[in-house]
Structure 1
C-alpha cells in the first residue's frame, strides 16, 4: 500500500515535468485540444516513465526536501525543457512578423483560437508548417526520449534551471539565423521590389507609389511563400532538431 502511494505521488510530481510542454509550447498549443486531454496525456506519460524508472522516481529520496520543493523543482524543469521549442517557434513568428511589415501586412493578424493571442500572418504559415513537419518526422519520439533521459539524468525532485549559458545563447542565435534563412529569399525579393518602386517614384512622381507597392509586394508574397515553404523542409527539420538538442542544456541536477 505504501509503495502504491509513493508511485501515485511520483506520477503526480512527474506530471509537472511534462505539462508545460503540452500547455505552453508549440507545436502543441497550435492544436485545439481540450485541457483535460492534455492533462490526462501528461499523467499517462508520467505513469509510463515512473514504471520504467522506479529507482529515479518513486524509490528515490524525493521527500527529503519536502513535497512542495519537489513540485516546484519539477515544474521548473518542465518549463526549461519546453523553452527550447518555444524559442524555435518564436524565431519563426518573429521572422514572419518582419515579412508582414515589409510586405505591408503589418495590420493583418490572426487570432490563435488556442491561446487567444494575435499571430502574424506569414509567421502563422511558418509555425503550422513547422508543426506539421514536427509531427510527421520523429519529433514526438525524440521528445519522449528527452523526457526519459531527463528522468534518468535528473531524478525526481532534484531539478533546477541552469545549464550552459553560452550554449543556450548559441542556440538562440542559431534558431534565429535558421528562421531568417526560411524567409531570406522573400525578404530579398521584397527589398528589390522596394528599390524598383523607389526608382519608379523618382521618374514618375505622379504615380501612387504606396498603392502600387502594396499590390506588387502582396502578389510577390503570395507567389514566393508557397515555394519558400515547400523548399525549406530541410531548414525546418534543422531548426526543430536544434531545439530538441538544446532542451537538455536548459536543466541540471542540484
Structure 2
C-alpha cells in the first residue's frame, strides 16, 4: 500500500510539474531562461510538490493506465501554456515595439545575442523586460501568480476536461497589451520621427554636410533623453500590463 500511495503521489507531482513547466522552461524572452535548467527544474519540482500537498482534493483514478496518463499530461501541458500565455504576449509586445525604437535610434546593429534562444535581442527591449521582471517582485505580483497557480488545481483538477479559452477574449487581451506597449514607446518614437524629418530637411538644404555622422549620435541622445523623461508613463504602463496578465490568468482558470 505504501508503494502504491507513493506512486500515486509521484504521478500527481509529475503532472503538476507539466502544468507549471511552461512558466519556467519555455524561453520566449523570459529573463528566467538565463537561469540554469537544473535550478529551474528544482523550482518547478518544489512548486509542484507544494501545490499537490496544498490540494488534498487531487486524486488519481483507481485504474490509471499509460494512455490515460499521457492524455492527462497533454491536458496539463495545454493548461500550463494557457496560463503562461499572458507573460508570452506581454514580453512579445514589449520586444516588438522596443525593436522598432532600436531601429530608429540606431541600436539595431548592436543587438545582444541571447544564447538561450540563439537569436539577437533588442537592447531597449531587454532593458524593459528586466524592468518588468523586477516590478513583478517589487509589486508582490509573484504572490498573485502562486495563488492563481494553486487556484488552478482547484478549479481545473487533474484528469479533467482541461481549459477552454475564448478566442475573442484572447484577441482582446492581445490588442490591449500591444496598445499598452505602443503607449510606452510612443513618445520616444515620435521624438525620433520628428528628428528624422529635421535631419532630412538639413540633408537637402546642406548636401555638403555629412548628416549621418552628425545625426546618429544626436538620435541616440534624443532617444535616451526621451526614454528618461517618459519614465513615469513607462512605470504606469508596465504596472497596468502586469494587472492585465493577472486578469488573463484568472480568466484562463475560469475565475
Same-fold call, TM cutoff 0.5: yes
For the residue of structure 2 that corresponds to 1:118, the secondary structure is strand
- Are the aligned partners of 1:26 and 1:131 in contact in 2 as well (CA < 8 Å)? no
Q: Secondary structure at the match of 1:12?
A: helix
Alpha carbons of structure 1 residues 8 and 83: separation in structure 2 relative to 1, 3 Å: same
Aligned 8 A contact 1:91 1:179 in 2: yes
Q: Which residue of 1 aligns with 2:173?
A: 171
What is aligned with 2:59?
58
Aligned-residue offset at 1:13: 0.9
Residues 98-137 of structure 1: matches in 2 within 5 Å? 98-137=100-139
Q: Distance in 1 between matches of 2:172 and 2:148?
A: 20
Question: Matches of 1:74 and 1:30 in 2, distance apart?
Answer: 21
Q: How far apart, CA to CA, are the structure 2 residues paired with 1:185 and 1:249?
A: 32
- Aligned partner of 1:201 in structure 2 is 203
Distance 1:77 1:172, change over 3 A: same
What residue number does 1:145 align with?
A: 147
Q: Which residue of 70, 73, 77 corresponds with 1:71?
A: 73
- TM-superposed CA distance for 1:5, in Å, is 2.3
2:214 aligned with 1:212, yes or no? yes
Which residue is equivalent to 1:38? Answer: 40
1:93 equivalenced with 2:91 (yes/no): no
- Which is worse superposed, 88-97 or 122-131? 122-131
* Distance apart, 1:28 and its partner CA: 5.0
- SS of 2:154's equivalent? helix
Q: What secondary structure does 2:91 align onto?
A: helix
- The answer to whether the 8 Å contact 1:19/1:42 transfers is yes
Pick the aligned partner of 1:228 from 227, 230, 239: 230
Deviations 1:3-55 (A, max 9, x none): 33212210111110001101126675446322112111111111111111121
TM-score (structure 2 length as normaliser): 0.89
Q: Distance in 1 between matches of 2:233 and 2:212?
A: 31
Structure 1: which 5+ runs fail to align?
none
SS at match of 1:66: helix
CA offset at residue 231 of structure 1?
4.7
CA shift digits 1:62-107 (9 cap, x unpaired): 9487111011111111111111101101100001100011122221
CA distance in 1, matches of 2:30, 2:196: 37
Gaps of 5+ in 2: none
Question: What's the TM-score once normalised by structure 1's chain length?
Answer: 0.89
Q: Greater CA deviation, 79-88 or 222-231?
A: 222-231
Measure, in 2, the Cα distance between the counterparts of 1:217 and 1:112. 26
RMSD of aligned Cα (Å): 2.3
Secondary structure at 1:107's aligned position in 2? helix
